[in-house]
Structure 1
Amino acid sequence: MKIVCPTCNATYKIPDDTIPQGKSVVATCKKCGGKIVIEPRAETRSDQTSQAEPLSGPQPPAFQQPPFPPQAQAGAFQFIAEQDAFKGYAGFWKRFAAFIIDALILMVCGLVIGGFIGFVYRFTAGTSAGAGALGNLGGIILGWLYFAIMESSSTQGTLGKMALGIKVTNLSGDRISFGRATGRHLGKIISTFIFLIGYLMVAFTSRKQGLHDMMAGCLVVTRK
């Protein structure tokens, strides 16, 4: 029987006799770590015959299928890979291009929103003192909400990532939560403070993860 990982499209072949009847199991793709739901196999003709009324006269002992392996019940199939390693991780330059697009978007939005906040502040306070600090705070909040909301939304990515055809997932290939997206965004502070090494790690790690990706348990992959 062949099964396909819905996250990275890796194909695996497993023996039919390891598939249980009447229950679904969840396996883990050893290429990308994604979840693969394996539906129960249908009853075979021999299974149906064994459930029929016994014939008259002595009958040979019915063949009993060996119990389903506990290891397989836990979803840990010994897969036989038929494809190369998953190549869907977004590389450094694609992510860098997405960052440039996002930076330009945030810069324009920041100028508009910051100008409005500064105008209101000067109008209500009667002075421009402190307007710069307020604008910086607004920029920090804007950047956080932009990345956290969009990466945890159904798009799974910012406008820059969408333009480059990439998205953010957890290690199982699923959509991340707002809290995880926030943790990933805050992790960028550490990636920046260590001389941008946290970002450069994307070019050298096996799954193209930056330090902030590893801290939040995230992957950046190409869209299907």
Structure 2
Amino acid sequence: MDESDVEYAGFWVRVGASLIDSLLIVIITFPLLVSLYGWEYFDSEELLAGPADFLITWVLPAVAVIWFWMQRQATPGKAALALRVVDAESGSPLSLAQSIGRYLAYFVSTIPFGLGLFWVGFDSRKQGWHDKLASTVVVRAKTRGPQPVRFPRA
């Protein structure tokens, strides 16, 4: 990847990508949950309705997101907005370990009132805590931007 052709993707475009991804997850999981558990599922105060609930709401999204990062360098939402998730040092595609680590690090980013996600808006490389922990950056084709992309080891 030629770093002069890309820039760091900022907070708002990443929010847009997350909204697209969240909508897709709801479109897929909602009918599955209703077909298996009925409408009563949404009235329940239980954390999990059963094993299928765990698979549909936790495992399926995790596997899908990690697969998209590994195969396409972007989830559908990021791809729709021409964003890519890459290694912060080289600009290369993510490793499996990086992808899993980044996914798990999202929980770290959200626990303190989402501060690790909002961090994207203030960081010079537009990295959230999950990006920093997994050594990743989100980039897009350069159109404008606060700072050019520089990978320390290319």
Q: Normalising by structure 2, what TM-score?
A: 0.78
Aligned to 1:187: 105
Identity between Structure 1 and Structure 2 (%): 31
Question: What is residue 178 of structure 1 aligned with on the other side?
Answer: 96
RMSD, matched Cα: 2.2
* CA distance, structure 2, for counterparts of residue 193 and residue 130 of structure 1: 18
| Matching residue of 2:8 | 89
SS of the residue aligned with 1:181?
Answer: helix
Distance 2:47 2:126 in 1: 41
1:140 to 32, 45, 58: 58
Q: Which residue of 1 aligns with 2:74?
A: 157
Q: Is 1:222 aligned to residue 140 of structure 2? A: yes
Structure 1: runs of 5 or more not aligned: 1-5, 11-86, 120-128
In structure 1, C-alpha distance between the alignment counterparts of 2:110 and 2:50, rounded to whole Å:
21
Take 1:117 and 1:170, find their aligned partners in 2: how far apart are those partners? 39
Question: Matches of 1:167 and 1:130 in 2, distance apart?
Answer: 34
Structure 2: state its 5+ residue gaps.
Answer: 39-45, 143-154
**Which of residues 8, 32, 48 in structure 1 aligns to 2:3?**
8
> Which structure's CA Rg is the greater one?
1
Residues 187-221 of structure 1, C-alpha deviation per residue, up to 9 Å, x if partnerless?
01011111100001100111000000000000100
**Which residue of the partner structure matches residue 197 of structure 1?**
115
Greater than 2 Å deviation, 4+ residue runs: 112-119, 133-136
Distance 2:63 2:106 in 1: 14
Deviation at 1:114, TM superposition (A): 2.5
The question of whether the paired residues in 1 share the 8 Å contact of 2:48 and 2:54 is answered with: no
Whether the aligned pair in 2 keeps the contact of 1:169 and 1:219 (CA below 8 Å) is: yes
Shift, 1:113, TM fit: 2.8
Question: CA distance change for structure 1 residues 118 and 131 in 2, over 3 Å: closer, same or farther?
Answer: farther
Question: What residue number does 1:110 align with?
Answer: 29
Q: Which has the higher contact order (CA 8 A, sep 6+)?
A: 2
Looking at structure 1, the residues matched to 78 and 14 of structure 2 have their Cα atoms a distance apart, in angstroms, of 7
Give, as a single letter, the amino acid of the residue that structure 1 aligns with 2:11. F
